[in-house]
Chain A
Amino acid sequence: MPAHALLPAVNRLLKQVEETSGLPVAVAQQSDLSTLATLRPATPDYQAHVIAYRDADEASSYHVAFEAALLLRIVQVPPEQRVNLTERRDAKEKVVSQVEKLFKGRLGLAQARQAGLRFYDGLMVQLRSTGPGLWADRWLFEQVPELRGLQAAVLQSQVQGNVPCLNAEVDKMSPADVVKASRAMNAAYAFQAAELVGIPPLAIPYQAAGFEALAKELIAITRAEPTTADPDREIVDGWAEKLGLSRWYVWKTP
């Protein structure tokens, strides 16, 4: 038996996705997920959207709603215009090279390379997900007020979990460009969470570290009226420009 059934508001949202896309949505708990939740939009070969969540707890309703909100945007992009964010080899190699220098004499080349790849991949995942994620959090706050209690708990927990990224030790172990961009994205998350939850001190660490102005610019990008059929791509590109990451990736059709 499921430990926690999805809340009715989440079921309504899933139904909305099904009606908009014309395809079913499957929701499954998957305890070995590395993230709290994930989604896999339908493909020509697999005609169903899949949302997986990791923990069978109350918060999973929010995580599923969050993925459903993202999915609702994705399915509204005309199929021929759908693109994936993919790596740029030169940008990736630059990060690898920075990490090799950073750990010279302390890590073998192969290990340093692995670490560099992880930094690059991690930053690209963060870039691809955080901006649209901010949009989804705010959309859920406005459109599905029944979830606000759960949302408050999830956002606070996430902000608290991100705070250690500010610690000075992180600077010694990470490429400067990666750390700065990652902190700015975490700052945007914290400032929006502070606003939605109504607890301004949530964003204090980032304000003290000088990220307030940049964070607010990033948040503004997620709230701008879309001018194309792919609003998530607009957000990601807008963030990349502000963060100096425009030349770190390319969009490719699947």
Chain B
Amino acid sequence: MEGTAFSIEEASFDASLLPEGSRTPGTEAFHRAVTDYFQKSYASMGGQLSVVFAAGRIEVAWEPAPAEAPAMASIGPLLQQRRFDEARPLLETLLQLQPEHPEALYNLGVLASEEGRLEEARLLLRRAVVANAPDAHAQANAQVALALAAMRLGDKAEARQALEAAIEVEAGNSFALRSLGSLLVIAGAYAAAVKRFRQALAAAPDDLISTFNLAQALLELDPDEHRDEADRLLLRVIEAQPYGELSDKAKDLRSSIARRDLRADQPDGLRQDRTR
């Protein structure tokens, strides 16, 4: 539970919660009994409680116990719940204590990247790549994050280099493969992109984004040759994830295939329903 702070009028306090003889607002007995009530109420939570009486009001503040030494075990759940404002100071403290802490460097780099502080992100993530060298998977992830930051900075060269390095240390890193595929699509290298998306799908067969991207790249590469495969892939996306943006895009792409089929069936360009 997060910390909480609130104030209520002494006169508004539910006196039935207090022992008889201590129910008169403003008296010392009342203040003592109210303080006892809050202490008992928050006892199971640990942390620090403050109950202050001022100008007829009860000011209550409860804070959970601070982490003595921030450990990744306690920071991880905060990151998973996207409670970044709470995770960031813990990560920064950790980095001050251990300047090359691999996970602190990685997570602070990712946060900086997500928040648009891209140069800072790039520097942190370059350090994270080095610090994570003993763990191939963690290093690959750091390379991927570095690539994303570089892409956001418009530095496609560093992005591509980082993704290729990630795949080198972890051949089955589906996110790296997928991201490299997307980068290759941007560069117009569709055949190479298709190869990377196929590898991404081999590593993570249920990855719908790779499935969609592969379909898209196949259609760019050769819509005649790859029409059927692309259509099957798009159908798989729609069936697995019927709602949301991705399925909408898949439906749009399937519609474009259908339109293309229709045009191909009518070489003179006339619509079937057209009459003169």
Interface residues of A (CB under 8 A from B): 1-2, 5-6, 11, 14-15, 25-27, 29, 57-59, 153, 156-157, 160, 163-164, 166-168, 171, 199-202, 204-205, 207-210, 212
Please report which residues of chain B, range 1-31, place their CB below 8 angstroms from some CB of chain A when the two chains form the complex. Answer: 1-2, 4-9, 12-14, 17
Cβ-closest chain B residue relative to A14: B243
| Residue among B42, B80, B244 with max Cβ neighbours from chain A (10 Å) | B244
Question: Contact between A209 and B12 (Cβ–Cβ < 8 Å)?
Answer: yes
Question: Contact between B246 and A2 (Cβ–Cβ < 8 Å)?
Answer: yes
Cα A207 to Cα B57 with chains together (Å): 16
* Chain A residues closer than 8 Å to B57, beta-carbon distance: 168
Question: Contact between B246 and A205 (Cβ–Cβ < 8 Å)?
Answer: no
Cα A204 to Cα B37 with chains together (Å): 10
Cβ-closest chain A residue relative to B16: A210
* Chain A residues closer than 8 Å to B58, beta-carbon distance: 208
Question: Contact between A5 and B42 (Cβ–Cβ < 8 Å)?
Answer: no
B41: Cβ under 8 A from any A Cβ? yes
Question: Contact between A1 and B8 (Cβ–Cβ < 8 Å)?
Answer: no
Question: Contact between B82 and A205 (Cβ–Cβ < 8 Å)?
Answer: no
Size of B's binding interface in residues, CB under 8 A: 34
Question: Contact between A58 and B7 (Cβ–Cβ < 8 Å)?
Answer: no
Contact of A2 among B6, B14, B60, B245 (CB under 8 A): B245
Question: Contact between B243 and A201 (Cβ–Cβ < 8 Å)?
Answer: no
Given A6-B244, A156-B1, A204-B38: A212 and B14 interface contact (C-beta under 8 Å): yes
Cβ-closest chain B residue relative to A154: B81
Question: Contact between A201 and B1 (Cβ–Cβ < 8 Å)?
Answer: yes
Question: Contact between B42 and A201 (Cβ–Cβ < 8 Å)?
Answer: yes
Closest 10 CB pairs of A and B: A210-B14, A27-B243, A2-B245, A204-B41, A205-B6, A163-B6, A166-B6, A209-B8, A167-B7, A153-B81
* Chain B residues closer than 8 Å to A15, beta-carbon distance: 242
B45: Cβ under 8 A from any A Cβ? yes
Question: Contact between B246 and A208 (Cβ–Cβ < 8 Å)?
Answer: no
Cα A207 to Cα B40 with chains together (Å): 13
* Chain A residues closer than 8 Å to B272, beta-carbon distance: none
* Chain A residues closer than 8 Å to B60, beta-carbon distance: 205, 208
Other A-B contacts than A5-B246, A153-B81, A210-B13, 7 sampled, CB-CB below 8 A, are A5-B244, A163-B6, A204-B42, A208-B8, A208-B34, A209-B13, A210-B12
Cα A26 to Cα B242 with chains together (Å): 10
B266: Cβ under 8 A from any A Cβ? no
Cα A200 to Cα B44 with chains together (Å): 9
| Residue among B14, B62, B208 with max Cβ neighbours from chain A (10 Å) | B14
Q: Encode contact with A along B33-51: 1 for CB under 8 Å, 0 otherwise.
A: 0100110011011000000
B161: Cβ under 8 A from any A Cβ? no
Cα A14 to Cα B13 with chains together (Å): 44
CB distance from B15 to the nearest CB of A (A): 8
CB distance from A83 to the nearest CB of B (A): 29
Cα A89 to Cα B170 with chains together (Å): 68
Cα A187 to Cα B1 with chains together (Å): 17
* Chain B residues closer than 8 Å to A157, beta-carbon distance: 2
Cα A171 to Cα B57 with chains together (Å): 13
* Chain A residues closer than 8 Å to B244, beta-carbon distance: 2, 5-6, 27
* Chain A residues closer than 8 Å to B2, beta-carbon distance: 156-157, 160
Cα A252 to Cα B4 with chains together (Å): 41
Cα A42 to Cα B209 with chains together (Å): 30
Given A201-B45, A204-B41, A209-B14: A25 and B243 interface contact (C-beta under 8 Å): yes
CB distance from A140 to the nearest CB of B (A): 17
CB distance from A20 to the nearest CB of B (A): 16
Question: Contact between B41 and A201 (Cβ–Cβ < 8 Å)?
Answer: yes
Cβ-closest chain A residue relative to B245: A2
Please report which residues of chain B, range 78-104, place their CB below 8 angstroms from some CB of chain A when the two chains form the complex. Answer: 80-82
Q: Encode contact with A along B233-269: 1 for CB under 8 Å, 0 otherwise.
A: 0000000011111100000000000000000000000
Cβ-closest chain A residue relative to B3: A160
Contact of B17 among A11, A26, A58, A207 (CB under 8 A): A207
* Chain A residues closer than 8 Å to B42, beta-carbon distance: 201, 204
Cα A201 to Cα B42 with chains together (Å): 6
Cα A166 to Cα B57 with chains together (Å): 12
Given A1-B246, A58-B81, A153-B81: A208 and B14 interface contact (C-beta under 8 Å): yes
Cα A167 to Cα B9 with chains together (Å): 8
* Chain B residues closer than 8 Å to A163, beta-carbon distance: 4-6
CB distance from B183 to the nearest CB of A (A): 14
* Chain A residues closer than 8 Å to B246, beta-carbon distance: 1-2, 5
